[in-house]
Structure 1
Amino acid sequence: MNPKGKNIYDAAFIGGGAASFFAAIQYADLKPQARCVIIEKGKNLLNKVRISGGGRCNVTNTISMPAELVKNYPRGEKELLGPFHQFSSQDTVEWFESRGVKLKTESDGRIFPVSDSSSSIIDCLMNEVRKKDIAIVTGENITDISFSDEKEWELKGSSQNFNTKLLFLGSGSSPAMWKMLESKLGLKIIPPVPSLFTFNIKDPRIKDLPGISLKEAEVFIRNSKLQSNGPLLITHWGMSGPAILKLSAWGARELAEKKYQFEIAVNWIADFSPQDFITDNRKKHPSALVINHKPEEIPSRLWKSLFQQSGIDEKKKWADLNKAEMLKLEQMLSESVFKVNGKSTFKEEFVTAGGIDLKEVDLKKFSLKKYPTLFLAGEVLNIDAITGGFNFQAAWTGGWIAGTNMAYQEH
């Protein structure tokens, strides 16, 4: 254990992720003489930044209007409107570019470093921490947090202790931390459940089609109000892609209650009606085989597989379709039903719905109402987003606002 005098700080930041780094840098920027420390329980820093976007780091999204930006947050939509007026995705872009990180926008609105490497973002953040002389302690697990009579925070670690006037929590999805905050500080924790996952589906219609994708599909959870649209990808284990991931985020709690056993209906032709497609082909190609005329949006192999499993004769001509067969074709195109049996993590990215109840937090400052000198941001809060750089944006925004208010906080 270090001598006590070595571990007295003006501000301590628990967790070595995006939110903590951003908060610490902002605080130190405004309070250059303050003593700061970032405490991380693992050996590595900025792990999620490193693996995000397949190692490219999806920094943020081109959507910058707060009213539009908040629509991407299943948990936190209402609460983030004010914070995004303080620090939006455009501010994030300017922050990194002003520090030498060149960014680019992809066609779907996601923003990445021009280098296509998360190391550009990590190097930038690490350089800022070094320049501001912020101490970093790794391999140190905080096992106890208490607020002393001297109105300081006392942190008990696995090998050393810390005292600090201001405390920031950027500990992410940590059940141990949530449990401690609940028992020691009396905070209400919303039970965590997974978000952003893919669907496990075993079905002969898609069994041999991994890698097949559609630019636009609609997906509905049957017996539910949940629905989503966007690109869809067939995988070795079932279905993925933005349409599925959005559903998993918006339905995180409902699908957990269903124990990930439910049915979905897929509309493969989201942009037009199946009735129009059938009527048009019956007029234009009456003597042609139905199987030879697919909607342009559906890949050939998928169309063939769906058709073969539909029960309609492969030698059937358009003119010879009866009402029952036309109905089958309609349902095949716009309401293919699949049974989902379980979920899988999306790549290495794992997001949790749940955390500290937002009612406990003053979101103008990202501090606790009960303890105004305890600040927090990122996934430790009950805030999460769909894919596209939005989870990082919540971390940048919360970290920046917290760091700013920490600097102006009277102890």
Structure 2
Amino acid sequence: MSFRRKYHSVPLGRDQFYIDVRYTNLRPIGGGSYGVVCSADDTATGRRVAIKKIANVFSDLVDAKRILREIKLLRHFGSHENIVQVKDIITVPPNTIDFSDVYIVTNLMERARRVLGRRPEARKPPPRAPRSDLDRIITSRQTLTNQHHQYFLYQILRGLKYIHSASVLHRDLKPSNLLVNSNCDLAICDFGLARGFDDDAGKLTEYVVTRWYRAPELLCETKDYDEAIDVWSVGCIFAEMLRRKPFFRGDTPQHQLETIVSVLGKPGDGALEKIQHEAARKAIFAGAECEPYPFASYFPRDTSPTALDLLAKMLVFDPAARATVDAALEHPYLSELHGQMPEPLCDDTFDFEFERAATASSDEGKDALPKEEIQSMMFEEMVQLQLVMEDGGADAGAKAGAEGKDGEEDMATARTTDTADAK
């Protein structure tokens, strides 16, 4: 099935991209998880896009399954402004189900060419980075105002609300998985570790979430966790924005838990009763030996008290008492942004059944799918995207239709207000 595609081979440093001729002017912008990433012009839409090449995608079937999961999730989410959007998938060799390389085309979050939140006439050298994400911005010399903090945090929560409404846990939120452009627009990416609300939660506990952003219930190896783990991660990211460095920096899971307790204080008896893991209990009591400093003392003196109030509600040890995404969005710190634009919910929950059904018949192990199953499903995703492009125009990201356009206009309005305030 060719869909009238034509291909060309483009040298890119030491690599070679074999892609549709509609993509031109390729430039390397770094390496993402599992592959090389470049920017390109999409001549069919007139827009810049990002293309990630994943060579020999089936050399590791666990990684291949994560890539398939991400493709399916991004297609399901459509064109939400705060989630990276898949535009195209290219398989090589083309026109065969027995392919080995995959190219994933998404919208491009251009790296900052000017100071964030400033008008062009106030240009200064941008952070020098091959691509833009929140991690690079936090560690740069870029000035971040309270308005920047508000706008970034709001967009993270707005995207997360949409993700959770599809009954999906991201499970790997961190600054490097939050793409940012020079207009301060933010998009959540990297869904390779995502899971459904009703999945076997303990299945990947030791791998889920980078340690510094890992919720206490995961560090305690609790099996029944929920969307509160993502809220904790967002809280850690928010604290990092305010401090310009990570908040909880443990060297091991136990040390991470000890560090959290040393800052927040010993959890209540109700939370402690739920913890069965002996090493976790020891770490908690070790962290509680010293009296914690006032929470505000960990942050710059000019930090907004309202920001710290929200942060304290997000970084609660007990997940049952932790702020929800909705509660965070409704907090006074975000009240102006919360009232400016719609916060849409996903129309349908995402079905992870494709993983459970195929894994049950797999001999590769409990977290792997058979190669043929993954190939077939990836090929089907490519075909479905091509049908959308053939049927509804060149831009495959039009799934959200008029609602998505309205959302973009609302985001632009909020950004304009935020920029004016940040001056």
Q: What TM-score does the superposition give when structure 2 sets the normalisation length?
A: 0.25
Higher helix proportion (structure 1 or 2): 2
Greater Rg over alpha carbons, structure: 1
Higher relative contact order (CA 8 A, sep 6+): 1
TM-score (norm 1): 0.25
